[in-house]
Structure 1
Amino acid sequence: MGYAFDLDDVGFLRSAEGGAAVAELSRLPLTASSRLADVAAARRLVGERFAAAALETAVLRRKAESKLDDPSGWLFTADALQQATASAVGRHRAGRLAGRDVHDVTCSIGADLHEIARVAGRCVGSDLDPVRLAMAQHNLGGRVGLVRADALRPVTRDAVVVADPARRDDSGRRRWNPADLVPRLDLLLDVYAGRDLVVKCAPGLDFDLVPEDAEVEVVSLAGQVREASLWLGGLAGAVRRRATVLSRQETITDADPDDCPVREVGRWIVDPDGAVVRAGLVRHYAARHGLGQLDHRIAYLTGDEPPSGIRAFQVVDHGHYSEKALRALLREHEVGRLEILVRGMDVDPDALRKRLKPKGGQEATVVLTRIGDAPTMILTRAVRT
């Protein structure tokens, strides 16, 4: 949950004294082991009243460095930072809204609006939480109009609506059911019926529960699936599903060809990006890159040449899998450092690696999967193409 900021905290943090204090605290270790010393330093610097707020802000800014381009002057709450859109992902979404008037109805601390304001026509943000609104005002530097309002009570007309419902409960667990989002997805759809609307969702959302006329876009960044967005109204393209791989600037949709054969193990194994898998576009990706499936139920692909710019797996050997056979194969190839990838089999990679106790000077990746009814092992070398 983190520290519970109030408006007085935000006022102090926005002041010259508060800004200088956070900058000074940001030079501390800010680790679990240094916590007591860090707290003492904060109390000496700003006194008891604002020590926790200043220290928490320093900690959150450091955490935000892996998500936002330049969070050095930003204000956050722990929950708001957890849900904030990564800068690269926000820029991608904003690009689809370029030139439009936009209303972010759950603007929180302003991470999405920061990117939208660069390319949109006019934009406005709203939220029910006065603390987050005050933080957004600071973070956005007055570039965007902000108003306190309920997302389910529209205060604009005609503008594109952007919504990012809360996706965690009080214990911090993710919500996967659209009915558990705050505000609920069905209520957002009812309130903004007929409006162009984009709703940011967790990638684990059950896409069978979203409207048939929505475009579902799954976005990955640096090899990790970051989010799914539902594009509705005039924002939806002529596709139902889209996978966007930002690290490769590649987009796959269900309008692309999907003529992908099932074939025997070739020279390479390719594990498609998670956005492609989550969007159900493995066959479309395979067709684009001249690959085949090892099994029509499994996402692993194979071929003679992998796509460029990915981590692919050059096949060394393969055969029927059993733990005894794999142990012998690793011994034959003198493998001591082993990565285990699994799909379609009930195998715990960490537990299996401990039982195998590989020894040797070589490094390898073993792919365990099921081809038809046969458990199969494929020994490979990971290569950045």
Structure 2
Amino acid sequence: MGYSFDLDDVLFLRSAEGRAAVAELSGLALTGKSRLSDVAAARRLVGERFAAAALETAVLRRKAESKLDGGGEWLFTDAALQQATASVVARHRAQRLAGRDVHDVTCSIGADLAAVAAVARRSVGSDLDRVRLLMARHNLAAAGLDAAVVEADALRPVTRDTVVLADPARRDEGGRRRWDPADLVPPLDELLDVYAGRDLVIKCAPGLDFAAVPDDVEAEVISLDGGVREAALWFGSPADPTVRRRASVLRSDGGAWSITDAEPDDCPAEDVREWIVDPDGAVVRAGLVRHYAARHGLVQLDPRIAYLTGDVPPPGVRAFRVVEHGRFNEKALRTLLRKHDVGRLEILVRGVDVDPDALRRRLKPKGAQEASVVITRVGDQAMAYLCRAERT
């Protein structure tokens, strides 16, 4: 759960003494093995009262380095950092709000608000957690950004004519994060009632049931560096009226592309060709596999399965060049691995009941070569495709 900060902790951390202490503690190992010595160092440096707050901040800043730009100067709670939107994703979303007046009604420690403040005409953030609000003020100042930060209930509107941005928190009960929309804080249905008719953006879990999304709402699934991060629901003028589903694929190096259900989805199912392509998770989760295939001249191996095949893979993806294929059979696959001297084996499975780790142990590959095997259902038959993975 992490250390529970109070207002005095935050005020100390913002002071010159607090900043200097955290900077010094950041040079320690900050590992599980060094915990006792790190705690002792913190107590010697700032005394018992603020040792835990200073040490926790040093640990959280190290965790934030790969997630938040400028996080080395920010203040967090552990839960707030876990839920904070990665800077690359926050900037992507904020660009659609550039030049608008935006109110982040669940601003927490300010990760989304910072991205919005950089491009919006005017921006305001609000929350009920006073500790996080004080952290948000510090974080925005550290980033050199200007936004109003006020205490307010997300379910009691305090602005008009703004785009409302909301990121409901997930309840954590017994260490288990819950994803039922009714268990969000504030609840999703209450947010929708309160802001009915308003321009609204709601950040959601990527496991969103798109069947429950109204037809006039744009649902966007976002991935970063190959991992699906979140979904966003766009209401009113920020939404594209021609789009119901969008997949946005982002990379930390700045690369980005999107695909929507407004594009053609002509995609037959055919026999395997030279390459197998596993679309990005955002494309799969948004239900846009056929649209992605049509864009890149690919076809499906099976109309119910997300694996695609073609003569030329899309640029910039990790694709699988087919070496041999046939019906899935462990004995035949073991023979095939020996034939190609495969010792390092990646196993990808979709549509069949196969545990990759258990299968790898049974196959016991021994050889000098590396390969991938794609196991999937085609019609009513399980098929195996021995491949060489390549970056196109």
Pick the TM interval, shorter chain.
Answer: over 0.9
Report the equivalent of 2:295. 288
- The 3 A distance-change label for structure 1 pair 175 and 208 is farther
Report the equivalent of 1:127. 127
The aligned runs of 1:298-377 (5 Å cut-off) are 298-377=305-384
The aligned runs of 1:1-385 (5 Å cut-off) are 1-141=1-141, 143-237=146-240, 238-247=242-251, 248-385=255-392
- The 3 A distance-change label for structure 1 pair 172 and 101 is farther
Residue 21 of structure 1 aligns to which amino acid in structure 2? A
Q: Give the TM-score of the pair, scaled to structure 2.
A: 0.97
Q: Percent identity?
A: 76
State the alpha-carbon separation in 1 of the partners of residues 276 and 339 from structure 2: 21
- Contact 1:67 / 1:87 at 8 angstroms: preserved in 2? yes
* CA shift for structure 1 position 280: 0.2
* CA shift for structure 1 position 206: 1.6
Deviations 1:135-179 (A, max 9, x none): 000000161111111100000011000000012423343333222
Residue 161 of structure 1 aligns to which amino acid in structure 2? V
State the alpha-carbon separation in 2 of the partners of residues 90 and 361 from structure 1: 43
Residue 65 of structure 2 aligns to which amino acid in structure 1? E
State the alpha-carbon separation in 1 of the partners of residues 212 and 122 from structure 2: 32
* CA shift for structure 1 position 324: 1.0
Residue 124 of structure 1 aligns to which amino acid in structure 2? V
* CA shift for structure 1 position 355: 1.1
- The 3 A distance-change label for structure 1 pair 206 and 278 is same
* CA shift for structure 1 position 52: 0.4
State the alpha-carbon separation in 1 of the partners of residues 237 and 180 from structure 2: 25
Aligned-partner SS, 2:268:
coil
Aligned-partner SS, 2:138:
helix
Deviations 1:166-220 (A, max 9, x none): 1242334333322221111111011001110000011012222233321100011
- Contact 1:177 / 1:205 at 8 angstroms: preserved in 2? no
Stretches (4+) displaced over 4 A: none
- Contact 1:178 / 1:209 at 8 angstroms: preserved in 2? no
Aligned-partner SS, 2:177:
coil
Between stretches 250-259 and 174-183, larger displacement belongs to 174-183
State the alpha-carbon separation in 2 of the partners of residues 246 and 164 from structure 1: 20
State the alpha-carbon separation in 2 of the partners of residues 358 and 69 from structure 1: 42
* CA shift for structure 1 position 241: 0.2
Aligned-partner SS, 1:176:
coil
Q: Give the TM-score of the pair, scaled to structure 1.
A: 0.99
State the alpha-carbon separation in 1 of the partners of residues 85 and 273 from structure 2: 39
- Contact 1:272 / 1:282 at 8 angstroms: preserved in 2? yes
Residue 162 of structure 1 aligns to which amino acid in structure 2? L
Residue 234 of structure 1 aligns to which amino acid in structure 2? S
Deviations 1:239-297 (A, max 9, x none): 11000011342111011000011111110000000000000000000000000000000
* CA shift for structure 1 position 299: 0.2
State the alpha-carbon separation in 2 of the partners of residues 380 and 275 from structure 1: 24
| Structure 1: stretches of 5+ with no match in the other structure | none
- Contact 1:109 / 1:135 at 8 angstroms: preserved in 2? yes
Residue 317 of structure 1 aligns to which amino acid in structure 2? E
- Contact 1:94 / 1:119 at 8 angstroms: preserved in 2? yes
State the alpha-carbon separation in 1 of the partners of residues 167 and 220 from structure 2: 14
Aligned-partner SS, 2:63:
helix
Between stretches 295-304 and 135-144, larger displacement belongs to 135-144
- Contact 1:176 / 1:206 at 8 angstroms: preserved in 2? no
Aligned-partner SS, 2:269:
coil
State the alpha-carbon separation in 2 of the partners of residues 171 and 4 from structure 1: 17
* CA shift for structure 1 position 236: 1.5
Residue 349 of structure 2 aligns to which amino acid in structure 1? V
- Contact 1:177 / 1:206 at 8 angstroms: preserved in 2? no
State the alpha-carbon separation in 2 of the partners of residues 153 and 307 from structure 1: 47
- Contact 1:197 / 1:231 at 8 angstroms: preserved in 2? yes
State the alpha-carbon separation in 2 of the partners of residues 15 and 144 from structure 1: 21
Aligned-partner SS, 1:205:
coil
State the alpha-carbon separation in 2 of the partners of residues 239 and 172 from structure 1: 37
Aligned-partner SS, 1:59:
helix
**RMSD of aligned residue pairs (Cα, Å):** 0.9
Aligned-partner SS, 1:327:
helix
